[in-house]
Amino acid sequence: MLGAKVTLSLAALALIYVYLLYPALLCLLALFRRTRSPEPGYTPFLSILIAACNEGAVIEKKLRCTLSLDYPADRIEILVVSDGSEDETDDIVRAFPDERIRLVRIPARRGKTNAQNAGVRSAKGDVLVFSDATTIYQSRALRYLAAHYKDPSVGAVSGRYEYFDSTAGSPTGMGSITFWSYENRIKVWQSAIATLTGCCGCIYSVRRSIYTELAPDIISDLVQPLHVIRKGYRVAFEERALAFEQTTESTREELSMRVRIVTRAMRGLLSVPDLLRPWRHPWIAFQLISHKVLRWMIPLFLTAALFSNALLAREPYLRALLIGQLCFYGLALLGLAAPVHRLWKPLGMPLYFCTLNTAAILGLVALLRGRKYVTWQPVRYRG
């Protein structure tokens, strides 16, 4: 039974490190680096790029909201990159009565990253801001992002996701909100210490002069910032720049989206292997291994913990731990069969946790099988 005890101890330590010790270490280090967010006032010319595929139901609202943001009117342009849209998206954009809005049409659908590459080639701005058609920005978000670029060492700036569940009935709602609140705190501490290693996909920006074109099967909001770092620039996090996004409405939608994201992220990380070498980039490698690689290995740690714990069930305190694990997974399975989250929202957390980790397993399988997720199917709320 010694082997089972060692396995259980190592698995538990790995889980504690990923979810508690690593964030706690970041928090502690951030206490010694008192940084102040820059005051708005610097206003470089911005190109706002909106990748859109069949977004006719929301694109007009998105454009009106973007035009109403608090930023000098003569310092922005808005490019809607239509990735093979077959609905009325293109017609709505072309008919929009504002010369700052331009349509970049891609005849054949080739995915979000390719659409961003195409948009950048047509952009005129000094700073590129990447957004989604379903995302609504806080009114001063652009000013907060732009202020950082007064510092020449800053190459990219990420805003902050704020998820909301408008129906209050989504099984993934509370999980998404809690998870991204947790992720945002980690980003705050990373930025305070040195640099982020990933941005929020629907609200991040890059200096146009250092933008790197990426392969269509790579997730841009993780890999683009890594290329910025490779070029010697810093990636900052601006928590005042808020982007509001609707949670998915079902576990199936959340799982599908997460599998695609994880697979693209894994493939993207493999495209910059030098950043995983501690002897070359110690701080960046530490963050990527702790926050990405080990996070994707959580299913392995959970499985090892469960089976080793089962072998040790004769010991009373370990039996209690096993019962706790089985109850947790039982709640997740119950959440699949019945809307228990409607009785009490925290009851939906086990299902969301298991959904994220199932996505990590399926993402790894897809990667090993050579599956490439290039195009995307929007699953967000259309209200």
Q: What's the confidence (pLDDT) of residue 376?
A: 62
Q: Which two tokens stand for residue 362?
A: 């399926």
Q: How far apart are CA 164 and CA 354, in angstroms?
A: 20
What domains, with CATH codes, occur in the chain? Answer: 46-289 (3.90.550.10)
| β-strand pairing of 127-132 with 203-207 | antiparallel
Q: Examine the pLDDT at 79 and tell me if it is beyond 90.
A: yes
What is the mean pLDDT of the segment spanning 266-271?
Answer: 94
**What is the 3 state secondary structure string of 71-102?**
CCHHHEEEEEEEECCCCCHHHHHHCCCCCCEE
Rounded Cα–Cα distance for residues 275 and 231 (Å):
12
pLDDT of 246 above 90: no
pLDDT of residue 382: 36
Per-residue pLDDT tens digits for 121-136: 999 999 999 999 999 9
Residue 381 is predicted with a pLDDT of: 37
Rounded to the nearest integer, the mean pLDDT of the chain is 91
Q: Strands across the sheet with 127-132, in order?
A: 101-106, 76-83, 46-52, 127-132, 203-207, 154-164, 234-246, 136-137
Average pLDDT over residues 83-100: 93
In this structure, what token pair is assigned to residue 51? Answer: 């990748």
Q: Which tens digits make up the pLDDT trace of 26-43? A: 999 998 887 788 999 999
- Beta-bridge partner residues of 161: 243
For 271-325, how does the pLDDT look when each residue is reduced to its tens digit (9 = 90+)? 999 999 999 999 999 999 999 999 999 999 999 999 999 999 988 889 999 999 9
- Smallest CA-to-CA distance from 294 within 17, 97, 93 is with 17
State the average pLDDT over residues 230-255: 89
The pair of structure tokens assigned to 148 is: 């950082």
Contact 124, 47 (CB under 8 A): yes
Indicate the pLDDT class of residue 8, thresholds 50, 70 and 90: very high
Which residues are CB-neighbours of 6 under 8 A, at least 6 positions away?
none
Question: What pLDDT digit, counting tens, does each position of 352-374 carry?
Answer: 999 999 999 999 999 999 888 77
Q: Which residues pair with 80 in a beta bridge?
A: 50, 103
